[in-house]
Amino acid sequence: MAEPEVEFKLIILKMIANQNLIRNIIGVTGNVISCGLFLSPMPTYIQIIKSKDVKKFSPIPYLATLLNCLLWFFYGLPIVHPNSLLVIIINGIGIAFEIFYLTVFLIYAARQGRLKVIKLLALEAVFMIAVVTLVLLLIHTTTKRSLVVGILCIIFGTCMYASPLVVMKLVIQTKSVEFMPFTLSLASFLNGVCWTSYGFLPFDINLLVPNGLGTLFGLAQLVLYACYFKSTPNKNTKAEVELPV
């Protein structure tokens, strides 16, 4: 009886090891794709730097992404959700990118736009300080901390992933995908797929819900792109239009 028990335990250990290996591979792949996602607004900001004008580009998506990254970074810390190093790494990178984008926006925005961004950044800072303080002082186990911070991550992660709905509406109205780049839509879809898969190994509903929705929104963007790509006017034959990103 002892030998079958030993063999069964060995099988379980191998399954756990394989699961961890697959999880790490998916997580690293997700980090690479997420980096591409964070880099995607760079052409817009190069344009802003060259023209020294933010024009009608909106800072709201970058403010939303910054808050989302801050919450996930906190979620991944060992004092909240142990064994989440990859979550910490990618969201740390995301925080750096969003700070850069918002800094550029502050430099070249008009006074009214600059004040709006500063006020929203101050609100985000106050919110994060309150969350970190209350979670660490009032909640004393990583299980409960993961639950509370995870709920916040689900809420704000869903809001971030839902932000392209405005652009998708614009695509349908104009029958043009000019302001919905294919690479960004594809990266959003692949990013959602990777982190949804990562959330299954082991099961983590806080990762599954927002990234599952992100996968659906990304897929919807790709479907729209396929539908309206041919009807998009040629850049050389239409007037220049500035719309928010």
Token duo for residue 191: 């990013």
At residue 245 the predicted structure's pLDDT band, cuts being 50, 70 and 90, is very low
At residue 127 the predicted structure's pLDDT band, cuts being 50, 70 and 90, is very high
Most trustworthy range by pLDDT among 59-63, 182-186, 236-240: 59-63
Instruction: Evaluate if residue 239 carries a pLDDT over 50.
Output: no
Instruction: Evaluate if residue 237 carries a pLDDT over 50.
Output: no
Between residues 118 and 164, which one has the greater pLDDT? 118
At residue 96 the predicted structure's pLDDT band, cuts being 50, 70 and 90, is very high
Measured distance CA(68)–CA(90) in Å, rounded: 12
Give pLDDT, residue 196.
86
Token duo for residue 198: 């990562």
**121 and 95 in contact (C-beta within 8 Å)?**
no
Give the sign of the dihedral formed by CA 75, CA 80, CA 82, CA 88.
Answer: positive
Give 193-230 pLDDT, tens digit per residue.
Answer: 888 887 787 677 877 888 888 888 889 888 988 888 87
**82 and 63 in contact (C-beta within 8 Å)?**
no
Overall residue count recorded for the chain in this entry: 245
When pLDDT is averaged across residues 176-199 and rounded to a whole number, the result is 79
Instruction: Evaluate if residue 148 carries a pLDDT over 90.
Output: yes
Between residues 33 and 100, which one has the greater pLDDT? 100
When pLDDT is averaged across residues 79-85 and rounded to a whole number, the result is 88
Q: What is the dihedral of CA 44, 212, 133, 38, to 10 degrees?
A: -20
Between residues 39 and 30, which one has the greater pLDDT? 39
Residues 6+ apart with CB under 8 A from 162: 213, 217
When pLDDT is averaged across residues 168-191 and rounded to a whole number, the result is 79
Q: Which of 153, 207, 161 is nearest to 30 (CA)?
A: 207
Q: Which sequence spans correspond to the domains of the chain? A: 40-162
Give pLDDT, residue 174.
81
- Would you tell me how many other CB atoms lie within 10 Å of the CB of residue 103? 12
Give pLDDT, residue 19.
62
